Amino acid sequence: MVMTMVNPVPASEQIGTVDLASWTVVPGQSNPEKDDHGAWAVTAGDVEQYDLYFEIADAAHPRQVAEFVVEAVQAHATRLRLGAAFADVERERERLRARPPGADLYEGDRARVVVMMAELGRLAAEAYEPAPAAESAAQRERVYDGVTRLAALAVGWLEAVHARYGIDDG
């Protein structure tokens, strides 16, 4: 199998900045007839001028190889992002556990749930309200931090359900 890189080989950091939804498989430049056994390319980024483009050629099934690459990259990036999100929630959960004695994080009473839902609505409204360019990074950080806190509180609620009803891992 031969991979022909039209652009220089991207670094891992560059791959992570390209929207995963934009990764696709297209016929290679030398395969305008879309022959399954001709060259197929993995592309990502802007369709007008790809941020990433490389062709799979001289393989028994180049289109299938290209599709495998796209699926593998998307699955790997999804696992990395999910792992990072869970790690952030876990750190916030530990921070919340360090609260003063008497603060019952496992209590999922009605008032706390209502407050959590209201906060979720506020964060959703903020997330979809365009901010001025100078404020957008701070807005993203506020929303991310708020959602992380809510997720940590929701995990505490799940822990309370497990503790209260004896739900096990099975």
pLDDT in tens, the chain (170 residues): 444 444 445 556 556 667 888 899 999 999 999 998 899 999 988 777 888 888 998 889 999 999 999 999 888 888 888 899 999 999 998 888 886 655 555 555 677 778 888 999 999 999 999 889 899 889 999 999 999 999 998 888 887 778 777 776 65
Verify that 69 and 118 share a domain, yes or no.
Answer: no
Q: What residue numbers bound the domain in which 136 lies?
A: 99-165
Verify that 11 and 71 share a domain, yes or no.
Answer: yes
User: Does a structural domain hold residue 84?
Assistant: no
Strands (E), the chain: 2-5, 24-27, 40-44, 52-57
User: Does a structural domain hold residue 94?
Assistant: no
User: Does a structural domain hold residue 69?
Assistant: yes
Verify that 6 and 71 share a domain, yes or no.
Answer: yes
User: What is the side-by-side strand order in the sheet with 2-5?
Assistant: 2-5, 52-57, 40-44, 24-27
Q: What is the pLDDT of residue 144?
A: 93
Q: What is the pLDDT of residue 166?
A: 77
Query: For 103, left (φ over 0), alpha (ψ -120 to 50), or beta?
Result: beta
User: Does a structural domain hold residue 14?
Assistant: yes
Verify that 45 and 7 share a domain, yes or no.
Answer: yes
Angle formed at CA 143 by CA 136 and CA 86, multiple of 5 degrees = 125
pTM for the full model? Answer: 0.65
User: Does a structural domain hold residue 86?
Assistant: no
User: Does a structural domain hold residue 93?
Assistant: no
Verify that 50 and 14 share a domain, yes or no.
Answer: yes
Verify that 24 and 66 share a domain, yes or no.
Answer: yes
d(CA 40, CA 25): 7
d(CA 109, CA 96): 17
Q: What is the pLDDT of residue 67?
A: 95
Verify that 14 and 65 share a domain, yes or no.
Answer: yes
Verify that 8 and 61 share a domain, yes or no.
Answer: yes
Looking only at the bridges linking them, the beta strands covering 52-57 and 40-44 are antiparallel
Verify that 103 and 63 share a domain, yes or no.
Answer: no
Residue where one domain finishes, among candidates 75, 90, 117 = 75
Verify that 105 and 69 share a domain, yes or no.
Answer: no
Count of domains for the chain: 2
| DSSP labels, 94-111 | HHHHTSPTT--TT---HH
**Token duo for residue 82:** 């999910």
